[in-house]
Structure 1
Amino acid sequence: MRRRTFTASLGAAAVAAAAVPSAAHAKTRGHCEDAYTWRNAVVNGGGYVPGIVFNETEADLIYARTDIGGLYRWQEPTQTWKPLLDWVGWDDWGWTGVVSVATDPVEPHRVYAAVGTYTNDWDPANGAVIRSEDRGETWEAAELPFKQGGNMPGRGMGERLAVDPHDNAQVYLGTPNGNGLWRSQDHGRNWSRAEAFPNAGNFVQDPSGEYSDDNQGVIWIDFDQDGRVFVGVADPDDPLYVSADRGATWQPVPGAAAALGTADGNRTIPKQAAFDHENGHLFIVTGWDPGPYNGAPASGRGGSIQRLSLATGEWTDVTPAYNPIGAIPGFGGLTVDRRRPGTLMAATQNNWWPDEIVYRSTDSGATWQTSWDYVWDANWSWPPERTDRFTMDSTGSEWLSFGGADDGPAYAVKHGWMIDALAIDPHDSDRIMWGTGATIWGTERLTEWDAQGALVGWDDAAGHQIALPIEPFTVAVRVEGLEETAVQDIAAIGGTLVSATGDLGGFVHTDVDRVGTQIRHPNWTSGRGVDFAALEPDVVVGTGDVEGETAGHVGVSTDRGATWLTTTRLDGVAGGANGGTVAVGADGSVIVWSPGDGSTAPVFSTDLGQTWTPVDGLPAGALVRADRTDPNRLYAFAAGTVYASANGGLAFTATGATGLPAEGPVDLRAVPGRRGHLWLAGGKADAAYGMWRSTDGGRKWKRVRDFDEADAVGFGKARGRHGYPAIYTSAKADGQRGIWRSTDEGRTWDRVNDDAHQWAWTGKAISGDPQVYGRVYIATNGRGLICGDIED
């Protein structure tokens, strides 16, 4: 990562030559004759969508932001999302964490995004505000002298970016950690701190950790029709400010501290706001923490909904009085219906069991209805039944059940969790979308809610509650085209693609254009590694992190990923982030697993993981791999040392190789059909870092001098019938990062991607396809599993 210095007022720095270039191929030697097309292996979502923003003046212009996977624009004709930040390169990987998005209500072709993933040292680079004048097709950037937190606590609050509808050259940005309110007066080209703004915020919900200790700072900016600018601040003592002179001076809003700064004795902050201009109301949801993870405080109530009369300055607490499960733990999203004054909706946050609640009011918050309710029998038996206003249709994303089944009122397919993105279409009262930790839900039948009436009544004769007859409408998946998984490993088997993914475990694809099947047994919280037996490819193994499970971390399939067997938990290795790495011998007879706890030495199994025996000769944490031709040969790597086994993984010995990376992550892979052929990529900057190859089982290694840096390596079908497998790598050659391919055993390399398709960080895993020449699979950290094919 490069570090930068800045002055107080920042000029624009061009990104991707000010406009994303058309496809162009670089090379280290020779000429690349192949142009590539790119798409995702379809999962549909798979990550947190903290913001959905509709343009106020142009119908069907909608943006969705993600916490690590970039920004998307809605395509109405296909009902899909289009990725807009695939041009972000390796050095600026943090720009795929989108803190906020603002779409210009005056000139809808203009759009802005505040980017930067972490405010701590996980991301050493600063953030930026990027801007586009063609709805996100091309971008320029103004880099900032501080960090932003697209994947930090509070990322669902806001929006922190806002375009002044009375003068759209004025764009505001709220920032964390004492950096205050910033403003551009030239459509985002130059930025400077709004020195007149008096409060940079001081609220830190949990100062105990390097991730949870963010000062949330300036949270959101919004505009009244009379030109006043309102700003929400993470300071319970002074949470709301207003300017009546376009930001020249600012005053605290009277009564705001009492209304927004406390809730049942908890110190709270204004998380989101929405104007009802027709009725002269500003609605604000508050919370005792920024979200999106924490539950309610000890008092049970974690926030409120407040209404400010813009004419009189009067505050009214309009918090819903009813939650089927007790106290409302807190609120996430808030939205108003621009076409139906007085109609607003809000979503609970961390109402973990049995489900989140979406609230709707048509009388400015005086009364509320819930999206679902309990129905109790005469004996108040537990659990009660549940009745719903709408049904959740997960068709096309069946994995959203997470392998579960309905359990009383706890449905397998839920309204969601972490619902901060909640938006009614300002042009269509029937359309709403909301984002969750996994997907986007939506409907075009929203106003049917208002005709349904109450969900629950009372049977006087029977003396108990009854569900009143209503006609539920349907809420369905609206996330197609948005791919947000963080892929950890790839196994490309003939006709089958198996991937390990963060948070979701893993997926099996038999057709990359259709949603894959989620790996559910074992129940990995995050998948870490996958492998298959090269001579018996129906045998597939994987490993992942598990929580609260008695089964082992390793999963085994004997039918190419169609079904999975759980394995025995290894003594001494608890649940949690201990997935490590796993390898299966070429004939499927032995599995070698290296736990990820850092203290347990690798083990092997000859009975599909039912029993485990310690491996001789390997240190804890070693990376394990299998030869793709010889069942007796397996390999391992740890701290610069290569190990080899000639007896099927029972024992390993160091090969004596030198000159390999002793620090930093590495990717070691064995070549299909070539006994003893190994390639290694990885290392650490300012140390050994690059690519090496061995043809004798790891005893001698030769550095591939083409690459200054390399991080992942894999293989696919050879160009010729009897040629060496095509080699693919995510690497840096002659100062240029890219996805490279060699068809001549590494003598020459061609860059197969282009500047418009970089996907930020791609260093985890890469693989070619064993049956389709030129096809490459690329693991990304938040843009899913990318598939590239040679253009027809």
Structure 2
Amino acid sequence: MQSRLKRTASLLTAFMMAMSSMALTACSDSGNTTEEETTTGQSEELAAENTDDSLYVNPDWSYGQVAIGGGGFVTGIISTCEPGLFYARTDVGGAYRWDNGAQKWISLSYEISEDDKGLLGIDGIAVDPQNAANVYLIAGTSYFSNAKTCIMVSHDYGAHFKQIDVSDKIKVHGNGMGRGNGERIAVDPNNSDIIYCGGRTGGMIRSTDGGETWESVASFPVNSTKNENGINIITFDGSKSADGKTTRIYAGVSESKTDNIYYSDDAGETWSVLPGIDEKAQKFMPQRFDLDSKGNLYVSYGNHEGPWNSAQGTLYKFNADAGTSEEIQVVNWTVGDIVIDPTNDDNMVLVTSEVWTEQPNGAFGDKFFRTTDGGETWENLDGKYTMSTNGMDWIYNAAIHWCSSLAMDSGDSNRILVNSGNGIFACDNIWDESPEFYFEAKGIEEVVPEDIVSYKDYPLVSAIGDYDGFTHEDIFSSGERHTRQIGSTTSIAIAALDHNIWVKVGGDESNQLLCYSTDGGKNWTDITNSPEEGKVYYKGKVALTADGSALIWSPSNSNFTYRTEDWGSTWEKVEGIIGSQGVYLIGDPVNKDYVYGCANSILYVSSDGGKSFKRKFDTMSTYKRLAVAPDIEGTVYIPGGGSGLLKTTDHGENITLVNGLKFCEAVGLGKPKNDGDPYVIYVWGTPKDSDVKGIYMSEDEGETWVRVNDDLHQFGGTGNGEFVVGDMNVYGRCYMSTVGLGIAYCDKNEK
């Protein structure tokens, strides 16, 4: 079976590459390589790399993300030489490519492993100006994967990437301050083999072989900056070239009140400060560069790196040949970016960043301006443009904000895309009297899932970082956002015997955001009374007893767990759980007297409705969640880490080992194939030491295990929520949390 799947992997990879070449065509045969050499040769080489026997592809399953649409900070958008083709990067959710035919974004980051989850933080993106199939990402996250930094190289539109580890040379941080600046990586428009990249630390590096190997650019004068944003912009002026490569290169440095823009006129061998920078310009930090066809360099400035700490700024135009500069006085706020019409330098669009003005939907966000006379005059679009949700109605009251990247379709100067803290907005008629902006985030799923609930004959309900949570009747259509919006929601519970009763929690140091619903999430009531007078508790985990008569809450900033039977009018301190914050809690689905908890490897059980708990078992692991069997009292599954999967059928009195698992980090249950069969067990773990860590399923209580995901669908592991949960309504479907790829799903093709 394994060998058949490996052969299938080779065929699927070759097929996908062939389809990619048919669907998308390279842009230019100019430069040092022909189109055929660039596209076909590199694709064949990549195919050889990706079709070896180590690749495992599972043809029995389909994979994707539960549809929400947007929900995170898209930090950069890149147009390409191919009309209608864009790439986008995010701070924690990888990179995407716009599929113009399907009218949706396609994730390029499913195959990131748990060990490499830091590579979901994309700090820069570059596309070959001659061939849009060649895309390069600079990826890394300081707090994940030992701060590993890689150049991700693809020659097939991002269908596959090769990782080139450059951690020994530079470091980046895709979720760091200044992540909307850029781009810090660029491809020479006259030589596709030459790529430059700026690090947050370590200075500048370059490749002369298409990204395969990298060397430090020792002549560049800056290696790091105090704000840890480093070299944040690199741009080639393709009109200046010699010996088959671009000679003029610009680089921006994330500093103010000092030299912060440099240029080279000898292909990066030596660097000088850009001439003409006056005192006003120098007091700001460069955010982004844009070049017009005449070689003028436009610089968007802010007084800090962003995305939330910059308030002032301006726009400048520099000409390195003449040594001149000109302030383009549009606004005195931070300028996020401008985009120049490639067919007419006089036409430009500008967007601010971190400006809070009322937008057409009543939300507050950034401002748009446009010029048709080369910047002599600018038109403020306030009150002239409209906004629409484009079918993703949860975004109806959200702003276009934190804007730091504009892109224009190379084949249609009427169409622009702009990033925001919620996703991407597009406009197809930017030069009309009344431009129409709409949410263009279908396929981008960048939310951070924290919790999820699946009951038989009931919608899928989730808790999400930043965006509350959603209810899904259909996981393939954008869900309905919770009506009580509290922002980041860390836990949600629904009473097993009365699905009308919900409770969820979020909040922060100044706000206790704990609320409940008694009508299935349609209406909510806040619980404002604190369990401890004068203290503000927040986040953590919540549970309800089976009938919803009692709420148990373990805040993330308290060493105690609390219980109430009157929705917080009165509280009692739970006995038996002390010194643990954010204890995972879940009620027995049948008996309201039993509640289970886990923290610091300890299994806790209450037999009095959550008033007191007893320690039942120490797994010596760091598991975070339990799974209870629906309709079965007392049965709890416990992920035991290196101890495998554990189970109790008598409220924790006796613990047994489920067969066949060497390691188990998360466990969930799902609908069986046939009525009367055992619930399907889904785990994140490994059956044997030789197995790859991933999602596995068992339909016979652990006697046999089958891998669910494959090497192309790892999603960076279980992320913040650390869950794998089966669907109780669809056999062969399960969900997994991620660090920024939304709620991943696996769906068995044959039901």
After TM superposition, the score normalised by the length of structure 1 is 0.82
Whether the aligned pair in 2 keeps the contact of 1:40 and 1:784 (CA below 8 Å) is yes
Whether the aligned pair in 1 keeps the contact of 2:623 and 2:666 (CA below 8 Å) is no
1:479 is aligned to 2:441 = yes
For residue 732 of structure 1, report the CA deviation from its aligned partner.
3.5
Whether the aligned pair in 2 keeps the contact of 1:259 and 1:317 (CA below 8 Å) is no
For residue 174 of structure 1, report the CA deviation from its aligned partner.
1.0
For residue 751 of structure 1, report the CA deviation from its aligned partner.
0.9
Secondary structure, aligned partner of 1:105:
coil
Give the corresponding residue for 1:314.
324
For residue 502 of structure 1, report the CA deviation from its aligned partner.
0.7
For residue 49 of structure 1, report the CA deviation from its aligned partner.
0.4
Secondary structure, aligned partner of 1:777:
strand
Give the corresponding residue for 1:560.
520
Whether the aligned pair in 2 keeps the contact of 1:498 and 1:561 (CA below 8 Å) is no
Amino acid at match of 1:393: S
Amino acid at match of 2:110: D
Amino acid at match of 1:130: M
1:25 to 1:127, Cα distance in 2 relative to 1, 3 A: closer
Task: Output the CA distance in 2 between the equivalents of 1:748 and 1:24.
Answer: 22
- Residue among 717, 724, 727 paired with 1:761: 717
1:532 is aligned to 2:494 = yes
Task: Output the CA distance in 2 between the equivalents of 1:598 and 1:102.
Answer: 46
1:397 to 1:590, Cα distance in 2 relative to 1, 3 A: same
1:659 to 1:427, Cα distance in 2 relative to 1, 3 A: closer
1:259 to 1:201, Cα distance in 2 relative to 1, 3 A: farther
1:732 to 1:366, Cα distance in 2 relative to 1, 3 A: farther
Give the corresponding residue for 1:725.
679
Task: Output the CA distance in 1 between the equivalents of 2:594 and 2:569.
Answer: 22
Amino acid at match of 1:604: R
Task: Output the CA distance in 2 between the equivalents of 1:261 and 1:704.
Answer: 65
1:782 to 1:283, Cα distance in 2 relative to 1, 3 A: same
Task: Output the CA distance in 2 between the equivalents of 1:437 and 1:611.
Answer: 39
1:398 is aligned to 2:393 = yes
1:367 is aligned to 2:377 = yes
Whether the aligned pair in 1 keeps the contact of 2:302 and 2:310 (CA below 8 Å) is no
Whether the aligned pair in 1 keeps the contact of 2:602 and 2:619 (CA below 8 Å) is no
Whether the aligned pair in 1 keeps the contact of 2:249 and 2:268 (CA below 8 Å) is yes
| Aligned-residue CA RMSD (Å) | 2.6
1:515 is aligned to 2:484 = no
Amino acid at match of 1:174: G
For residue 76 of structure 1, report the CA deviation from its aligned partner.
0.8
1:218 to 1:473, Cα distance in 2 relative to 1, 3 A: closer
Give the corresponding residue for 2:32.
none
Secondary structure, aligned partner of 2:412:
coil
Q: What whole-Å deviation, never above 9, does each CA across 1:250-306 have from its counterpart, x for those lacking one?
A: 2222233635321xxxxx22110000114x31100122211101142xxxxx22211
Amino acid at match of 1:154: G
1:167 is aligned to 2:167 = no
- Residue among 2, 13, 19 paired with 2:50: 19
Task: Output the CA distance in 1 between the equivalents of 2:537 and 2:89.
Answer: 28
Whether the aligned pair in 1 keeps the contact of 2:82 and 2:410 (CA below 8 Å) is no
Whether the aligned pair in 2 keeps the contact of 1:528 and 1:580 (CA below 8 Å) is yes
Secondary structure, aligned partner of 1:618:
strand
Matches within 5 A, 1:544-555: 544-545=506-507, 549=511, 552-555=512-515
For residue 77 of structure 1, report the CA deviation from its aligned partner.
1.5
- Residue among 438, 454, 465 paired with 2:422: 438
Task: Output the CA distance in 2 between the equivalents of 1:370 and 1:611.
Answer: 54
Task: Output the CA distance in 2 between the equivalents of 1:315 and 1:676.
Answer: 75
Secondary structure, aligned partner of 2:394:
helix
- Residue among 254, 260, 268 paired with 1:247: 268
Structure of higher RCO (CA pairs closer than 8 Å, 6+ residues apart): 1
More off after superposition, 94-103 vs 644-653: 644-653
Whether the aligned pair in 2 keeps the contact of 1:220 and 1:272 (CA below 8 Å) is no
Whether the aligned pair in 2 keeps the contact of 1:174 and 1:182 (CA below 8 Å) is yes
More off after superposition, 745-754 vs 702-711: 702-711
Q: What whole-Å deviation, never above 9, does each CA across 1:4-25 have from its counterpart, x for those lacking one?
A: xxxxxxxxxx999833889987
1:636 is aligned to 2:640 = no
For residue 577 of structure 1, report the CA deviation from its aligned partner.
7.8
1:580 is aligned to 2:540 = yes
Whether the aligned pair in 2 keeps the contact of 1:340 and 1:429 (CA below 8 Å) is no
1:337 to 1:223, Cα distance in 2 relative to 1, 3 A: same
Task: Output the CA distance in 1 between the equivalents of 2:510 and 2:53.
Answer: 49
Give the corresponding residue for 1:274.
290
- Residue among 149, 152, 176 paired with 1:130: 152
1:565 to 1:491, Cα distance in 2 relative to 1, 3 A: same
For residue 161 of structure 1, report the CA deviation from its aligned partner.
1.0
1:131 to 1:640, Cα distance in 2 relative to 1, 3 A: closer
1:23 to 1:430, Cα distance in 2 relative to 1, 3 A: farther
Whether the aligned pair in 2 keeps the contact of 1:230 and 1:242 (CA below 8 Å) is yes
Whether the aligned pair in 1 keeps the contact of 2:491 and 2:540 (CA below 8 Å) is yes
Whether the aligned pair in 2 keeps the contact of 1:276 and 1:342 (CA below 8 Å) is no
Task: Output the CA distance in 1 between the equivalents of 2:69 and 2:232.
Answer: 32
Task: Output the CA distance in 1 between the equivalents of 2:200 and 2:705.
Answer: 44
Whether the aligned pair in 2 keeps the contact of 1:25 and 1:751 (CA below 8 Å) is no
1:189 to 1:23, Cα distance in 2 relative to 1, 3 A: closer
For residue 564 of structure 1, report the CA deviation from its aligned partner.
3.0
Amino acid at match of 2:270: T
1:37 is aligned to 2:62 = yes
Secondary structure, aligned partner of 2:119:
helix
1:195 to 1:554, Cα distance in 2 relative to 1, 3 A: same
- Residue among 45, 68, 72 paired with 1:47: 72
Whether the aligned pair in 2 keeps the contact of 1:488 and 1:502 (CA below 8 Å) is yes
Q: Which runs of 5+ in 1 are unaligned?
A: 1-13, 27-31, 205-213, 263-267, 297-301, 322-327, 373-387, 402-411, 453-471
Task: Output the CA distance in 2 between the equivalents of 1:271 and 1:741.
Answer: 48
Task: Output the CA distance in 2 between the equivalents of 1:625 and 1:20.
Answer: 44
Give the corresponding residue for 1:674.
632
1:659 to 1:710, Cα distance in 2 relative to 1, 3 A: closer
- Residue among 686, 701, 709 paired with 2:655: 701
Task: Output the CA distance in 1 between the equivalents of 2:454 and 2:601.
Answer: 27
Give the corresponding residue for 1:424.
408
Give the corresponding residue for 1:627.
588
Give the corresponding residue for 1:336.
340
After TM superposition, the score normalised by the length of structure 2 is 0.86
Whether the aligned pair in 2 keeps the contact of 1:399 and 1:518 (CA below 8 Å) is yes
Whether the aligned pair in 1 keeps the contact of 2:177 and 2:229 (CA below 8 Å) is no
For residue 72 of structure 1, report the CA deviation from its aligned partner.
0.7
Percentage of pairs with the same residue: 30
Matches within 5 A, 1:137-148: 137-144=159-166, 145=168, 146-148=170-172
Secondary structure, aligned partner of 1:440:
strand
Give the corresponding residue for 1:304.
314
1:710 to 1:575, Cα distance in 2 relative to 1, 3 A: farther
1:773 is aligned to 2:736 = no
Task: Output the CA distance in 2 between the equivalents of 1:690 and 1:501.
Answer: 29
Q: What whole-Å deviation, never above 9, does each CA across 1:8-55 have from its counterpart, x for those lacking one?
A: xxxxxx9998338899879xxxxx9x8111232211010000100011
Paired residues, number: 684
Task: Output the CA distance in 1 between the equivalents of 2:515 and 2:566.
Answer: 12
- Residue among 111, 117, 121 paired with 2:135: 111
Amino acid at match of 1:696: D
User: Greater share of helix residues, 1 or 2?
Assistant: 2
For residue 571 of structure 1, report the CA deviation from its aligned partner.
4.1
Give the corresponding residue for 2:665.
711
Task: Output the CA distance in 1 between the equivalents of 2:534 and 2:662.
Answer: 39
Q: What whole-Å deviation, never above 9, does each CA across 1:630-651 have from its counterpart, x for those lacking one?
A: 1111112233332221121122
Task: Output the CA distance in 2 between the equivalents of 1:665 and 1:334.
Answer: 48
For residue 750 of structure 1, report the CA deviation from its aligned partner.
1.2
1:220 is aligned to 2:234 = yes
Whether the aligned pair in 2 keeps the contact of 1:42 and 1:515 (CA below 8 Å) is yes
Q: What whole-Å deviation, never above 9, does each CA across 1:552-572 have from its counterpart, x for those lacking one?
A: 533323333343333333244
Give the corresponding residue for 1:748.
704
Task: Output the CA distance in 2 between the equivalents of 1:670 and 1:247.
Answer: 61
Give the corresponding residue for 2:454.
492
Task: Output the CA distance in 2 between the equivalents of 1:183 and 1:273.
Answer: 19
Give the corresponding residue for 1:463.
none
- Residue among 180, 195, 198 paired with 1:156: 180
Q: What whole-Å deviation, never above 9, does each CA across 1:323-347 have from its counterpart, x for those lacking one?
A: xxxxx44122222111121222222
